[in-house]
Amino acid sequence: MTSTTGMSSEEGEVKKTTPISILQGTLDLMILRTLATLGPRHAYAIATRLEQVSEELLKVNQGTLYPALVRLEQNGWIKGTWGTTESNREAKYYAITKAGLRTLEEETQRWRQMAGVMDKLLTEDA
């Protein structure tokens, strides 16, 4: 794992931050949100966006991303079509479907509920 270095504003000292692992089931939600927000994208652009939004804390490799894209396409939540990239290469572009938008909405609600529960558990007095 690669670590990134960031400056702590309170302490004025350098603090190392370790990349975080993607929890099982969350990558699908991240991909759906990315496609809903940015429109059709190829796999490399999706991975780059996730790294950018996470400030380099998420490193999504092909061995993780491609099975998720296949799973989402098999579920009918995204649709892939071949196109040409900015660098004139052939790539499969993925777009979210109507079923994918419904799933995104449902899973976003579930994720927010779970995050609320975790927040309560983590902030309660021991």
- pLDDT tens digit sequence for 17-62: 677 777 667 999 999 999 999 999 999 999 999 999 999 888 888 8
Q: What is the pLDDT of residue 115?
A: 93
Amino acid 1: pLDDT: 35
Q: Is residue 7's pLDDT more than 80?
A: no
Distances (CA, A) of 119 to 6, 95, 108, 115, 126: 25, 33, 16, 6, 14
Domain covering 23-123 in this structure, CATH number: 1.10.10.10
- pLDDT bucket at 4, cuts 50 / 70 / 90: very low
State how far Cα 54 lies from the chain centre. Answer: 9
Domain ranges of the chain: 23-123
Q: Report residue 2's pLDDT band, with 50, 70 and 90 as the boundaries.
A: very low
Summarize pLDDT for 78-115 with one digit per residue, the tens.
Answer: 999 999 998 999 999 999 999 999 999 999 999 999 99
